[in-house]
Amino acid sequence: MKRFLIFCLLAICLCFAQNPWILDTSSGGTSPATPEPEAKPKESEIKPKAPLSVFDSVRGHGYNPFSIAGAASSVTDLVTTPSDIYGKKFFYVSPTDKLGYASFELFGGSALLGLSNQFNEDGEPLLASLILGYATSAFGVALEYSVGKMWTTEIQGPVTQSSRITYPGDNIGLYFSMPLGSATTYANVNWLTYELSGIKEIEGAASADGWTKIDYSTIDANAGLLGNLGALNYDVYLNVERHGGTMTSSYFSSMGEKVVTDSSYLAVSLNINIGYAALQNETARVIVGSNNMIGAAFLDEIDPGEPSFAGGSTKALIISPNILGEVIFANSCFAFAGAKHDINFIFEPETPRDENSSETIILQANLDKLQTGEIMGTEAFIGIRYQKPNWALEAQVSANPFKALAGDNIFANFGGFIYF
């Protein structure tokens, strides 16, 4: 009987624990809560929702390789416009691209630490690159620095020979941006060594002291404004690039003691990138746009006394229509894909350094690919992102994956986020 009473008491307690009783503060006692009838979900609530912030969250390195205006910012875009670092808290690493980023709160603002590489024209990494950024609600600054130098000193009796060598990929870049309402103004400059260069000095030799300096570098500067006018996104900037090399030596007596390499030029261009959100709902959007550039490159005059070494110029108009599509599915997956086509109008002499040469107009589809012997007028990429509240994985492929079966390499990106 005693066991039966204990069992009944436990059953009553369990019953009370399972029933929805609440404290009625208005009557000073307790009363059972009357359950409200369950509302029928609306059709809009049945479909998965995706606020605009989902489309605009920071993406991985391979998300937008064609710089389509209106797409979400990638981790590398935070370097170009460092004011966007403000408020970001994440960790990202990509083993395929050999880079990593972390953004965190610091001194009332937000800091960015990036570890990356400088790449050559073939996409191969050259030197390790360190990125430091800091932003407040009013502005953002960033520094990118990669260093590859070697100093040597050789002493042979009374003669001392010293040299300093700078390796390709040595770079220092400064970035600044500032929000202006719904727009952002930005400016940056990079000083990059793209070929081996160096200085050699000889002291104590029987002849006069001599030295030779070879300098190969590119100085690239940009200033622009990006933002949106409703569904229309824009990025307008001016680019100035000084490219090439010089050789200066105490042994030279002709040509002004200075030799200019035949690849030296000054280029100026105006770039207007636009993107329009043509289709968009809660789970998908499509951006159509075009990246456009008009500019000219002016070759350096190597030797005023030689017609074949005269300067020249090349003018270009490049129009790159592009599209980007994004869709959310299965609540945690996000797929994205894009394509572009380059139309190049090139105005240049048949012989670049011959001032008397007739000018020709060249229409090319993707100039860079044609120069390497690959005719590829249209390029495309596709990717997928699996996202949870505090982490995400992202992968992208921008080449035909089936060619890998034949032994060809494919260009792919893979990375992961941790959010805080």
pLDDT bin (cut points 50, 70, 90) of residue 379 is confident
DSSP secondary structure string, 104-161? EEETTEEEEEEEEEEE-TTS-EEEEEEEEEEE-SS-EEEEEEE--EEEEEEEETTEEE
Q: What residue type is 117 in one-letter code? A: N
pLDDT tens string 258-269: 556 667 788 999
3-class SS shares of the chain: helix, strand, coil, % to 5: 10, 55, 30
Separation of CA 419 from chain center: 20
Query: Higher-confidence residue: 248 or 98?
Result: 98
Residues 6+ apart with CB under 8 A from 111: 85, 103, 104, 105, 132, 133, 134
| pLDDT at residue 9 tops 60 | no
DSSP secondary structure string, 241-293? EEEEEEEEETT--SGGGEEE-TT-EEEEEEEEEEEEEEEE-SSEEEEEEEEEE
Write down the pLDDT at residue 283. 86
| pLDDT at residue 106 tops 80 | yes
Highest mean pLDDT: which range of 93-102, 269-278, 291-300, 349-358: 269-278
Cα–Cα distance, 313 to 304 (Å, whole number)? 16
Residues 6+ apart with CB under 8 A from 48: 282, 283, 328, 331
Q: What residue type is 27 in one-letter code? A: S
| pLDDT at residue 205 tops 70 | no
Write down the pLDDT at residue 124. 72
User: What does the mean pLDDT of the chain come to?
Assistant: 75
Check: CB of residue 145 under 8 Å from CB of residue 171: yes
